Structure 1
Amino acid sequence: MPQITFIEYSDKSHCVDAETGKSLMQIAIDHGIPGIDADCGGSCACGTCHVIVHETWQGKLPTAQEEEMAMLDMTPEPQPGSRLSCQLTVTDALDGLVVRLPEFQM
């Protein structure tokens, strides 16, 4: 089971075991990670599951599709590595993934 680390804006870390096949957003919700609102339930219709992928992982993830990029353009503070966690499916290859949460969700 891959381990994923979520780092809150306040720098508090949460290292969780992640079930493969689920979205990163669902993993955060399942583990009660603060800062992931997921208002649209994972349908890529809002930006409230915004995460910033650690630079060492950015090139290892699938490229964001046009729909995700449009939602990220509306986030208050997009950054290099910004992704919607609903669009990232957990696989064994993501063992050790680190993501930061922004100060505010959209």
Structure 2
Amino acid sequence: MRDADFSEDATPDLTLTLRLGETPVAAAVGDSVLVALRRAATGIRCICGGRCACGTCRVRIAEAWQACLPPPARNEARLLAALPGTTGAHRLACQITLDTTLDGLAIEIDSPPTRSTKTSSLETTE
């Protein structure tokens, strides 16, 4: 998996198509979904750089495609379980490696909600 390769000049050996809503996204075999989405400038976030450490690259997999993916590894499953609003349809884009069986994979970018920035009761006001 080429997590750090977000360059737009990378030429795919074999082009796959991800479906982001109605928009096709070109991807190469061996790329992660995250790499393909970043290369296509979709605006997907990935604070940790694709290392399965932050959860900001959460995507929702279309129901018809969910059984086509292997189950999440332990680290991904733990991180997903800790994110609010996660369902069985969610995966981390950095953890899905594309191959020819995933040509046409339909996803939605579904980053988890960010933490609230409420003022702490310990802070003093002037």
TM interval, shorter chain, is 0.7 to 0.9
Structure 1 runs of 4+ off > 6 angstroms? none
Which secondary structure state, in structure 2, belongs to the residue aligned with residue 56 of structure 1? helix
- Summarize the alignment of residues 1-106 of structure 1 with structure 2, pairs less than 5 Å apart: 1-7=15-21, 13-34=22-43, 36-102=44-110, 104-106=112-114
| Identity, % of aligned positions | 32
Shift of the alpha carbon at 1:76?
Answer: 2.5
CA gap of 1:99–1:105, structure 2 versus 1, over 3 A, is farther
Q: Unaligned stretches of 5+ in structure 1?
A: 8-12
Give the TM-score taking structure 1 as reference length: 0.86
Unmatched runs of 5 consecutive residues or more in structure 2 = 1-14, 115-126
* Count of equivalent residues: 100
Q: Provide the alpha-carbon RMSD of the alignment.
A: 1.5
Distance 2:113 2:73 in 1: 20
* Relative contact order, higher structure (CA 8 A, sep 6+): 1
Larger Rg: 2
TM-score by structure 2 length? 0.73
Equivalent-residue separation in structure 1 for 2:113 and 2:71 (angstroms): 21
